[in-house]
Amino acid sequence: MNISRRNFLGGVTGCAGALWSFQPIGLDTVGSEPEHGIDCVLLDLKSDCVLRESLHGYQAALNLLPAAMLSPRCRCRLAIVPAFGAMDSDMAGALSSSLRSGTHVLLESGAGFLSSAEFTAHQRMLDRYFDIAVGPPVDLWSGKFAGEAPVRHRAGRLPGNTHDSYAAIPYVNYFWPNQTKVRDFSRVIPVSASAGDVIAEVGALPVAWKRQTAKGTLIFLGSPLGTSLRAGDSEALSWLRLVAAL
């Protein structure tokens, strides 16, 4: 990989204003009463959040304090995991359980900033717990693959076979929940899954996916949106507003 986290952040400045006032999220305390009707949980995976600026972008846009875990004492409408690299089995299991219970889960990959070994673990975790397949990062600015095959496709749209379809294109084209373009300053993670729909592409390369479960919706972003939120990108803010209203 030939782009550093520091160089990437050089293109992202400013801070987004708050969009909503969600109810605050607190960790469980002994003797506390069960909580109900929480709108959104913003999960901070600490050292496993590999792009802290993305977390800060969601925090500013949602006017939320991050939480360290999903509380079993509350019902949450939306759970967001910004720029994650690793994810332990307890967290992955809790998110999967919440999804089945009706929580919408937004997973934002930070895999573009992982080592090869870390990326392999990231890849395996997504496949095991969320049935999502991801390929090595693609550098938007150089147009070069970080590996031979972009992704192990299992369903949905297939990306183009040449670099020309996405080389040097600095925008992610979303077409769900609305059509919009959000600039990406770094790498994107190609994505596929056994079920669901592509919701964003760079050229013909699928970089975001959603899958509807019986009650909740799983949303996977292979391009960090939080950094655009932190920069005050109006298109990113509009996109998140619509997702938060699901």
The DSSP output letter for 40 is E
In angstroms, the CA 191 to CA 135 distance is 6
Q: Which tens digit of pLDDT belongs to each residue from 83-115?
A: 999 999 999 999 999 999 899 999 999 999 899
Convert the pLDDT of each residue in 149-173 to its tens digit: 445 444 444 344 334 444 444 789 9
Q: Return the pLDDT at 72.
A: 66
Region of 143 on the Ramachandran plot (φ > 0 left; ψ -120 to 50 alpha; else beta): left
- Per the CB < 8 A criterion, the answer to whether 92 and 129 are in contact is yes
CA distance 160 to 58: 31
Cβ-based neighbour number of residue 39 at 10 Å: 15
CA distance 246 to 64: 18
Instruction: Please give the single-letter amino acid code of residue 137.
Output: P
Residue 212 is predicted with a pLDDT of: 92
- DSSP class of residue 80? E
Per-residue pLDDT, 69: 84
pLDDT of residue 61: 95
- Residue 33's pLDDT is 38
3-state secondary structure of 215: coil
Structural domains for the chain: 36-244 (3.40.50)
Weakly modelled stretches of the chain, pLDDT under 50: 1-37, 144-150, 152-169
Q: Is pTM, for the whole model, over 0.95?
A: no
